[in-house]
Amino acid sequence: MQYWLFKTEPDEYSLQDLANAPQQTDMWDGIRNYQARNFLRDKVAEGDRVLMYHSQCKNVGVVGIAEVVRAAYADPAQFNQESKYYDGKATLESPRWFCVDIRFVSQFNQVVSLKSIKAHPELQQMVLVKQGRLSVQPVTAQEWQLIEHLGR
């Protein structure tokens, strides 16, 4: 079992949206970055746990936890010409982009802000701190435990 951090813009899709979804489960799609895609396709597994991170908003940081309930499959949006995630170079035989399904687990009592993460000596090695722009990234068990503790 591995730990991850997924970023989302709450104006587009928030943790609350996931909590409100049927069975509190939804497709995590629209990932269009190769490094993030490779993690999704090759590493993210059913049962893995995910820190849900809100970017581009007032209170930037980790807001809660989700769980992976289905491992990678072809992101249907890449085949949909109506979608902003359409990719004409993707084919059914060789899809280019992947998505997973996640289920809501919990919402933190308080947001673990990016500021507090950056201020914490034990969290300096987080991908979030070192490489700002990756939307799917691995988290260590130590980082996970500390952030979960800070959010409670």
Find the shortest distance in angstroms from Cβ 114 to DNA. Answer: 5
Give whichever of 37 and 49 is closer to DNA, judged by the CB atom. Answer: 37
CA distance 151 to 53: 12
Burial class (CB in 10 A: 0-12, 13-18, 19+), 62: buried
Binding flag, residue 132, DNA (CB under 7 A): yes
- Looking at this protein, which amino acid is placed at residue 27? M
Q: Cα–Cα distances in Å, from 133 out to 33, 52, 109? A: 10, 15, 26
- Looking at this protein, which amino acid is placed at residue 36? A
**8 Å CB contact between 54 and 13:** no
Give whichever of 16 and 56 is closer to DNA, judged by the CB atom. Answer: 56
Instruction: Mark the segment that binds DNA (CB under 7 A) among 20-28, 53-61, 67-75, 95-103.
Output: 53-61
Q: Which of 14, 55, 83, 116 binds DNA (CB under 7 A)?
A: 55
Instruction: Mark the segment that binds DNA (CB under 7 A) among 14-22, 69-77, 98-106, 110-118.
Output: 110-118
Q: Which of 32, 96, 103, 120 binds DNA (CB under 7 A)?
A: 32
Q: Which residues contact 13 (CB under 8 A, 6 or more apart)?
A: none
Binding flag, residue 120, DNA (CB under 7 A): no
Interface positions with DNA (CB under 7 A) = 7, 9, 32-35, 55-56, 60, 114-115, 118, 131-135
